[in-house]
Amino acid sequence: MTEEHSGKEEHKHAEHHDQSEHHEHAEHDAHKHIYMEHHQHQKQKGYVIATWVLAGVSIVLLIGLILALTLGGGKSSNVKGVSAISINDAKTQTETYLKSISQGNASVDTITDNGDLYKLGLTVSGRQYESYVTKDGKLLFPQGIDMTAPAPSATANTAAATTPTVVPKTDKPTVELFVMSYCPYGTQAEKGILPAIRELGTTVDFKVRFVSYSMHGEKEVLENLNQYCIETEQPDKYLKYLACFLNDSVGQGSDADVAGCIASTGIDTAKLDACKNASDTKFNVMADYNDKSTWLNGNFPKVEFDQALNTQYGVQGSPTLIINGVESNAGRDSASFLSGICAAFNTPPAECQTQLSSTQPGPGFGYDSVGAANAAGCGV
């Protein structure tokens, strides 16, 4: 890892910094203080309610689709005059589609007739899923929701989200966080991991990587390019820029915020513009964005900066944390990130004993919100 983690040294030797750097450090301490507050229960409650509202809408849509199937003729497996395909054709068609969006890392292991739908047992990038496909082979449901089963408890969700995966140990762990720059859960993970990375400094090799497709419009494609170039060519400025970018709770990563963060962190704009122009050409960034025939599943523009690593690790969405080449499910609060990373050292450094906040940041922008523990993300 290079100079991008000089934040740790700035923290320990603040007396040698100029007035500007001291002001930035003071701002970080203020954000961290807010971030560690535990009494903002009303905001957390709002996130929980919003999550259940969205889940409810999804259930209503799923029920509507199933009703559309059944209204096509009682027990008939046809959809308003559209004949059902055979179970074998449904298996082949679904498997072909899944392989096309997962670099070939998918299979339909089982398929059974479930009345108006075919029920599927899938393996995608080593993970097993239960899904459903309509009998005309046109609609694939990511999962079925059993409304007769009890809802999972908050305690169970927290435990699942904060138990780190066992990863190989090295003297200097490699930590890679794959995100989409405007994915609210990607920004949530970035807000959580930054204090841990600042603390560990050069004892780890940390990089923000980009998921191989975008889901949040042209602004995300452009910001991915912006961040890729800052991290690649001006790494000592990148973490400061990212912390500033994530703080825009009002503008939600607005153009004005981006310009302000570039200015306040002292990024060389001429160097940045040259890199963006060269990288745009090298990776076909805007050419692919403007050519929808290249988009993943016809819906999502490609992002090819880290395509090889996406394929190597089987990255499916934002955020995805990779430690020493293995996907980790360390929780999204700073304490959990620190614990997950420190478990990957052969000999953990003294910094691993630091007490960081165990409060999970809220999704999206701003350091003044907290969220319930979850493993939500942006992805297909």
Residue with tokens 């979850």: 374
Give the HSE-up count for residue 66: Cα atoms under 13 Å, Cβ half-sphere.
Answer: 15
> Among 330, 286, 325, 327, which residue's Cα sits nearest to residue 304?
286
Give the DSSP H/E element, type plus range, for residue 326: strand 326-328
Residue type, 335: A
Across residues 55-73, what is the average pLDDT? 44
As a 3-state breakdown, the chain gives helix, strand, coil percent values, each rounded to 5, of 50, 15, 35
CATH 3.40.50.720 fits 3-37+156-379, yes or no: no
pLDDT tens sequence across 115-174: 778 888 777 655 556 778 888 888 776 555 545 544 444 333 333 344 446 788 999 999
pTM score: 0.59
Q: Map out the domains of the chain as residue ranges.
A: 3-37+156-379, 43-141
pLDDT tens sequence across 220-253: 999 999 999 999 999 999 999 999 999 988 888 8
pLDDT at 120: 82
